[in-house]
Structures are given as structure tokens and as C-alpha cells.
A and B are shown apart, each in its own frame.
Chain A
Amino acid sequence: EAQVTQNPRYLITVTGKKLTVTCSQNMNHEYMSWYRQDPGLGLRQIYYSMNVEVTDKGDVPEGYKVSRKEKRNFPLILESPSPNQTSLYFCASSSPSTGTAYGYTFGSGTRLTVV
């Protein structure tokens, strides 16, 4: 089944403790992206990647890092999490073709709480 898999689904952590949220897709998509969703602010893009070793900042990149060493994986790294990074996170992937694959496929989300 074509899918984007995020782990973990739920995470509670303490301020300053480094964490990584993993994202993997099995559709051979070039394009991957991370979003966060907060009440009243909607979905905002954190980082995106056009392909392996190509990443760029989205609208709210502060406090986050990403890497794209392999096509299928796009981990989101919080080196020193703070309470304002408590949010619902989504990973997504897409292909540059203009067919059906041009639509984004989203993961099920990771609910992160930083205390």
C-alpha cells in the first residue's frame, strides 16, 4: 500500500531533550515536506526537500532541522525542544509529475508535547 509512515504517533518529552520524528514513504517520491498544525494557525510548512541532499526552509523553520540522505526518508530533528514546539506534525510526499502522483500524500501525524 502506498503510504507515508511517521513515527512515533504520540510523544511527550521534556524541554531540551533532543528528539527525532521519522518519516518514510514507499512511493519513490522526490518531494517531501514537514508541516505543523496548531489551533487557529492552521497548517504551516517547516521544511521541504526537492530530492536527496536538497532541503530548504518553509515558513516556520526555527528550532528544527531535517536531512534527506535517502529518497524514502525525511526525518525531522528537534535538537533542543521547547514548549512552543508542542504541536501536531505531518509529513508529506509528492512527485513532480502532473499525473495523479502530483497530489501530496500525508502521514497520519505525530502529536508532540514538550513539557
Chain B
Amino acid sequence: DAKTTQPNSMESNEEEPVHLPCNHSTISGTDYIHWYRQLPSQGPEYVIHGLTSNVNNRMASLAIAEDRKSSTLILHRATLRDAAVYYCILRSLNYGGSQGNLIFGKGTKLSVKP
């Protein structure tokens, strides 16, 4: 399985942008890059996903390197409610068998200071 590497933890100040990096040097051409977050005492929550182009939604932006070996999740203005563990995960476009599974790593624990 293609794996991802993320920093264990990051800190941010409230109302400032946050850039959460993820390395996935062994990504294959059929892997989507997914980001999830898990707030304390809650289930993981889908944030965003992309394949090659940068993506924006109401929660965040996803910037994907041209060679697709790294990506960055961007929270434009961090709030205290954004304090969570953020997971970068590769999910295969080939849906058959276990390839469509989400395999979670340790993620990045984001702390937001007021």
C-alpha cells in the first residue's frame, strides 16, 4: 500500500492560515489523495480529496504538487474548532477488493491557540 508521511504535530494561532504537509512519494497514478480530520471524541470527518489539480471546498483547500509526491491541506483561517488530528490518506481509484479501503496513519495533531 502506498503510504503517507505527516508531521506528528503542528501549532497555529487562531485566525491565521495553516498549511498541513503530507508526503506520498510512492503514490500511483490511480491514487486519490484524501484528507480527513478527527475532532476530540468524534468520528473521522471527510475534509477534501483530489487527484491532480488543486481543489477547494467550504472547509479547506488542497494543493497537490505537480509530481503528486506531496500535498498540502490549507485551512485559510484556523479557528479553535479546527483543533483535531488531520489524516492524509491515499485511496485507490480501482475500487475492487481492498484497494478502495482507507488505511489510517498517525496523522498530524493540530493545536490552535487563541
CB within 8 Å of B: which residues of A? Answer: 31, 33, 35, 42-45, 48, 50, 56, 58-59, 90, 92, 94, 96, 98, 102-109
List B21-42 residues whose CB lies under 8 Å from chain A.
32, 34, 36, 42
- Contact residues in B for A43 (Cβ distance below 8 Å): 44, 104
Contact of B34 among A31, A96, A103, A106 (CB under 8 A): A103
- What are 24 A-to-B residue pairs whose CB atoms are below 8 Å? A31-B100, A35-B104, A42-B104, A42-B106, A45-B101, A45-B102, A50-B95, A50-B97, A58-B98, A58-B101, A90-B44, A92-B43, A102-B32, A102-B49, A102-B91, A103-B34, A103-B46, A103-B49, A104-B36, A104-B46, A106-B45, A108-B42, A109-B42, A109-B43
Q: How far is the CB of A100 from chain B (nearest CB, A)?
A: 8
- Contact residues in A for B36 (Cβ distance below 8 Å): 104
Contact across chains for B95 and A108 when beta carbons are under 8 A apart: no
What band does the interface of chain B fall in when counting residues whose beta carbon is under 8 Å from A?
20 to 34
A104–B46 alpha-carbon span in the complex (Å): 6
- Contact residues in A for B91 (Cβ distance below 8 Å): 102
Interface SS of A by simple majority: strand
List B64-109 residues whose CB lies under 8 Å from chain A.
91, 93, 95-98, 100-107
Q: A48-B98, A50-B97, A108-B43 are in contact. List 15 more A-B contacts (CB 8 A).
A: A31-B100, A33-B101, A43-B104, A44-B104, A45-B101, A50-B95, A92-B43, A96-B95, A96-B100, A98-B93, A102-B49, A102-B91, A104-B46, A106-B45, A109-B43
A81–B102 alpha-carbon span in the complex (Å): 26
A83–B100 alpha-carbon span in the complex (Å): 31
- Contact residues in A for B43 (Cβ distance below 8 Å): 90, 92, 106-109
- Contact residues in A for B97 (Cβ distance below 8 Å): 50, 56
- Contact residues in A for B100 (Cβ distance below 8 Å): 31, 50, 94, 96
- Identify the 3 closest CB pairs spanning chains A and B, nearest first: A103-B46, A106-B43, A43-B104
